[in-house]
Amino acid sequence: MIERSAYSARVPGLDFLEDELAALAAVDRLRVERAWDARAGQSVELGGRRLLNFASNDYLGLASDPRLAAAAAAAEQRDGVGAGASRLVSGHGRVAVELERALAAWVGAPAARLFNSGYAANTGLLPVVCGAGDVIFSDERNHASWIDGCRLSRAQVVVYRHGDVDELRRALASTPARRRAVVTESVFSMDGDTVDLAAVAAVTHAAGGFLIVDDAHALGVAGPAGAGLGWAAGADIVVGTLGKSVGAAGAFVAGPVGLAALLWNRARSLVFSTGLTIGTQAAALEGVRIAASTEGDARRSAVRAAARSVRAAVGLAGDGAIIPVIVGADGDAVGAAGALEERGFWIPAIRPPTVAPGTARLRVTLSAGHTAAEVAQLVDVLDDLGLTASA
């Protein structure tokens, strides 16, 4: 049980805070802050102990790359740190322009628009392209940011079964709308699986709709030169993030030139937000350069090889860098995460509402920065804890 007084003194009108927190703790769903003291490559120092980090989306191992840090420092020495205001108010430097051009070229789209985060991109995009009288068809396992973007758009929302192209086709044909938008991820963040994007694109276009693909977890890892899966499969709009494979922070929406212009004018999460720091933009530009290069190809090969090894151990096919180890009960997942931490691994438990009840899990993520010995050590510990297919 938790100490209620540990949260706050009683405040009239806010008595419910402690009750809500106690209710979360009672069902093993209370999240508490954990701050690491230092980070080096794919390890963190937490409470004086070094833990191997298998919980980061740093798929290419660029988050600690000194070249990104050097690019950020040089840009900030030249132009300062803060953006100062919304980019619409104070303008932006050449780094932002170069970054948007590099992102568009990388994924193969005509234009790209930079946002502060993937959440800001998704919640900013949908209300611009859809509204009252329109329908958004959303995969049932889409990220929370898409769910919130759907709500903000005020469009009708039709949720279809995960990856079910036939159900999507029927829904598109039977739902009257001014505009039809289909939203799906390419690689799903909690399950690490993919859907048949080409088939989704085909049924969407046959119904006169347009397809939006969230490539956040594919960008840098999948596709030619790591360009992701969405654009090549026929997506009309692609969203990507810069805090995962690219190793920096921020996100972007790529698509027609007209979309970039309309987002500049109407995306509230862009219009009313102070821009990314100058250093973050420069670090992202350097990360894109590396990720799209032959060096990036080598890093992609490394992370896929590591993923195949762990996936085989837990009974999953493929080479996706996100590996769900389903435990089931929330308390059991918390216990498994604690046992891993005791053995030197940082893999926190993932619980509802992030995943469905009864599917609490360890979300293992691989990076090109993990050594073969570290991956083998992880497999051994998972086996010892009864979390592999052979256990």
Q: Which residues are catalytic, by number?
A: 57, 143, 185, 189, 214, 217, 244
Closest CA to 230 of 181, 266, 196: 196
The answer to whether residues 199 and 235 touch, using CB atoms and an 8 Å cutoff, is: no
Closest CA to 212 of 166, 269, 304, 150: 150
The residue assigned the tokens 């360009």 is 227
The answer to whether residues 146 and 138 touch, using CB atoms and an 8 Å cutoff, is: yes
Q: What is the DSSP letter of 4?
A: G
The answer to whether residues 59 and 321 touch, using CB atoms and an 8 Å cutoff, is: yes
Instruction: Give the Cα separation of 244 and 58 in Å (integer).
Output: 5
Q: How many residues does the chain have?
A: 391
Closest CA to 382 of 344, 329, 331: 344
Residues contacting 177, CB < 8 A, separation 6+ = 133, 134, 135, 156
